[in-house]
Amino acid sequence: DFGVGADGLVFLLPSEVADFRMHMYNADGSLAEMCGNALRCVSKYVYEHGLCHWPDITVETLDGIKQVQLELEGNHVTQVKVDMGFPVLDPARIPMLTLTNPPIAVPVEVQGQRYAVTGVSTGVPHAITFVPDVKRIDLANVGPCLERHQVFPRGTNVEFVQVINANRVLVRVWERGAGITQACGTGACAVVVACVLNGLTEEAVDVELPGGILKIHWQNRQRIYMIGPATEVFTGEWPLN
């Protein structure tokens, strides 16, 4: 759908505690604890390439074991549903340096402008800010400043969110270690948590990103479920020395 190339590298490995194990590296070479989009892609790959023959898959990640359900049409995976687990709202565990707990609408100043940032971890840290129009945000300029802000000692992913209604939001993403990306699964989950905490949406929301729509449900403010597609764009070989 988007041509040859990627914003991350995923290794599919054997696991002693799940069906498969996944390691994800960002574009800058840093190791990501979790990646929702990569998890959907891996799940589609193992099924359609005959590495498993069942629609319910467990995948070991650095953020724990994730439960995955595949929606099928024949032998083709059309949608992937992932149990993303519980969001982390404790600032010490996100981590985020603030006395506000949970960290809702924390003022963070960047380049002389103050942003109300809500911090959430969905395996990796996210800084969510609500704006009237996401298209007007200079993401290439503001994104890296928030990513490396001292409030986030390990860095953070950044999401700017425009709320359309109680069940639909528009999102633009700056990913830690990758920059501007078309979509972010953990980010979409964190966005919905932030929306609910700020009283802006219901618990089930269509998150519209430049790369497509993810359906996110923070069920009873407990576990987060993500539903979205995965598409095989190309195949190739890379020489290893």
Q: Which of 128, 216, 129 is nearest to 168 (CA)?
A: 216
Catalytic residue among 35, 41, 189, 195: 35
- Cα–Cα distance measured from residue 27 to residue 14, given in angstroms and rounded to the nearest whole number: 23
Contacts of residue 145, Cβ cutoff 8 Å, sequence gap at least 6: 110, 111
**Is 145 labeled as catalytic in the residue annotation?**
no
**Is 184 labeled as catalytic in the residue annotation?**
yes
Looking at the chain, list the stretches that DSSP marks H as alpha helix, in order from N- to C-terminal side: 36-48, 139-147, 185-197
Angle made by CA atoms 33, 19, 235, in degrees to the nearest 5: 75
Looking at 52-161, list the stretches that DSSP marks H as alpha helix, in order from N- to C-terminal side: 139-147
Catalytic residue among 41, 184, 189, 195: 184
Please state whether the peptide bond connecting residue 239 to the residue before it is cis, i.e. omega within 30 degrees of 0: no
Are the CB atoms for 105 and 117 separated by under 8 Å?
Answer: yes
- Cα–Cα distance measured from residue 36 to residue 85, given in angstroms and rounded to the nearest whole number: 11
Instruction: Classify 33 in phi/psi space as left (phi over 0), alpha (psi -120 to 50) or beta.
Output: alpha
Identify residue 39 by its one-letter amino acid code: L
Coil, helix or strand for 44? helix
Supply the residues annotated as catalytic: 35, 184
